[in-house]
Amino acid sequence: MKKFAYLLIAIAFLFQNANAQRRTQTIKWFSIAAKIGYGNSVLLNVNNIEDKHVEFNYLTPSLSYGGRFTFTYGDKIGFGSDILLSSFGQKYTIDNNGDIYEKEIKIKSLDILPFFRYTGEKTGYLEIGSKFSIVRSMSVTNSILNPNPPFKPTDNIVENYAPKFTSIVLGLGLAVYKNERLDVNLGTRFAYSFTDFTPGYSYNVVNDGYYIPEKTVLTDTNPLSIQFILEVNYYFAFWGDATCGKGRLMLFK
């Protein structure tokens, strides 16, 4: 009789524990966000940086804006993707035998950024991912118009660059406002491409026909950007457990 009583107590304990686990099962959240980033961009090229006749500008503006979808497991683990329209570039000041002029290359791209994000106890987050960039347009401007000898044509300058490139992305930030449905996050995001933006070291934008660099051996060009990020995140649904034990997607009203 005692053994039977112990068995009933054990079964009751296991049943209660199973129900408690079911009630506390981790909720999966779905969210969308609008975001904007502003900061700095450079096209890293060793030859341009070391060229004593070229002042390499490390403060060329970059801008990104778009949206994000995220799946969050519990409160900490998130997977998602950004889709952004971006603009970036590089500025140079060139001294051609005392004739000083400015050159700027401007680039627009469509960026897709799959990422993993971990959120800590105090709403700070760390994210890592990749950025797949598709070049939409490109242009070059100079502060002088009719030098002698003339500039090389730049109508099809985009043909000298890779139409796509991939970057590694690292970001961190925190929620400055948070409730059950809405987050407002501020952060910083770093992106760097290890691949050459000019395939086969085939092009140097400062070698424009008017100024000819001393070094003829080219090096790779690597896009880099650092931006401050503002995002407004809205939780529109979650995956919860029905009374029958099966999960279902529930939308917020």
Is 231 contained in some domain? Answer: yes
Predicted confidence at residue 152, as pLDDT, reads 86
Ordered alpha helix ranges (H), the chain: 2-23, 46-50
* Cis peptide upstream of residue 149 (ω within 30 degrees of 0): yes
> 111 or 10: which carries more pLDDT confidence?
111
Is 15 contained in some domain? Answer: no
Please, are residues 42 and 58 in contact by the beta-carbon 8 Å criterion? yes
Is 22 contained in some domain? Answer: no
Is 31 contained in some domain? Answer: yes
Is 164 contained in some domain? Answer: yes
Is 7 contained in some domain? Answer: no
In the numeric block, which tokens belong to residue 212? 């000819």
**pLDDT reading at 250 higher than 80:** no
Is 38 contained in some domain? Answer: yes
Cα–Cα distance measured from residue 26 to residue 3, given in angstroms and rounded to the nearest whole number? 36
Domain count, the chain: 1
Full residue range of the structural domain in which residue 91 is found: 27-251
Q: What is the pLDDT of residues 66-113, one digit of tens each?
A: 999 999 988 889 999 999 999 999 999 999 999 999 999 999 999 999
Is 2 contained in some domain? Answer: no
CATH for 54: 2.40.160.20
Q: Is 137 exposed, middle or buried (0-12, 13-18, 19+ CB in 10 A)?
A: exposed
